[in-house]
Homo-oligomer: A and B are copies of this chain.
Amino acid sequence: MSIEAVAKQAGVSVATVSRAFNLPDQVAATTRERVHAIARELGYSANNSARTLRTQRSRVIGVVLPSLLNPVFAECLDGIAQAACSAGYAILPLMTQYEVAAEQQAVASLLASNVAGLVLVVSEPANSAGLAQLQARQTPYVLAYNQHPDHPCVGVDGETAVAQLVARLHSLGHTEIAMLSGHLSASDRARQRVSGYQRGMRALGLGAPRLLEVPFVETAVDEIAQFLSNANRPTAVICSNDLIAIRCLRAAWLCGLAVPEQLSVVGFDGIALGQDLAPMLSTLAQPNAEMGRLCLQMLTEALAAGQVPGPSQSITLPHGWHEGESCAAPPAHLVPARSRVSSHQLGVSS
């Protein structure tokens, strides 16, 4: 069903049909209507490849994500897909499985597909070959979750969020606060969150941070359980994401530790599933779908204006706190006397 068939049927030239859709003002109302009617009748819709080839810009946005097995990215992609659909764009997602080499390859592949722009989550914005290529080619792109002064980013301030969380836990009476993180080399998010943990601990004079780095793609419940079996285990564990927090909940269960009575567990991400757990997961929440929508909006607006989004347009969204049921005061006998009165220190803003 090509433009030519419609033109013939309507008794006009292909140019008129094209204009009837792309520049309606330049066509007489009566012919425009006739063309539209016949097009609808014939089920005509413009061939995207030809249009892209001609205009040199497609209505497709490339998306580069680590994996869909972490619901946080699935939720984000869902938001991206929704926004893209409303804006008349299609998306082309590629998963890197957290491998840096795959990022560059994904970018190259998407560029070959003439995508109009990209949304991506990279491992390390500072030295990403893929991003360098995009900047060199002046291709519009926006980073999600990442934070870096040289790139347009949409995300939350993970460092501050976790630092505030440490204060919150401390005000509940916790002093033995540990952090469970995915491998730090795999993502700048994890590193930022750990920084916030360390900063928060230092600020409160809470002694040496206790950090356990665990595998993330595979489950590491046993390793976590071993950590929790230790005699001087922490009373609260901050997990660098919800998936690890869920595994931590299971590890606690395997150790016979009641959550939150004997152990507080806090996550990061705010995946929808966390709200259906028993106990409901207490977590620092990011608006994942909304972040995806914002990325796409930033991109399509830039596209419409013929510009590329710059670092100055970065958006730091407020993080939220899902109260949940996995976080409470530590067991009374573990609370040092001087800590018990410190609940006025609770200084967490959104």
Contacts and interface: CB of A to CB of B under 8 A. Distances in A.
A19 to B, nearest CB: 19
A280 B113 contact: no
Interface in A33-78: 43, 45-50, 52-53, 58, 60, 67-69, 71, 74-75, 77-78
A250 interface: yes
Contacts of A212: none
Contact of A250 (B49, B71, B243, B280): B280
A12 interface: no
Interface in A70-112: 71, 74-75, 77-78, 81-82, 85, 90-95, 108-109, 111-112
23 contacts: A45-B108, A45-B109, A47-B112, A49-B50, A49-B113, A50-B53, A60-B113, A67-B78, A68-B68, A68-B77, A68-B78, A69-B272, A71-B74, A81-B94, A85-B95, A90-B94, A90-B109, A91-B93, A221-B276, A247-B276, A250-B276, A253-B279, A273-B273
A12 B46 CA distance: 35
Contact of A219 (B46, B94, B276): B276
- 9 nearest CB pairs, A to B: A253-B278, A74-B74, A49-B52, A45-B112, A250-B278, A68-B74, A68-B78, A49-B53, A48-B113
Interface centre among A93, A111, A243, A247 (most CB of B within 10 A): A93
Interface residues of A, number: 52
A114 interface: yes
Contacts of A278: 249-250, 252-254
A108 B45 CA distance: 8
Given A50-B53, A243-B276, 19 more contacts: A45-B108, A45-B111, A48-B112, A48-B113, A49-B52, A49-B53, A67-B78, A68-B74, A71-B71, A74-B74, A85-B94, A91-B93, A92-B92, A93-B93, A221-B276, A246-B273, A246-B276, A252-B278, A253-B278
Given A67-B78, A68-B74, A219-B275, A53 B45 contact: no
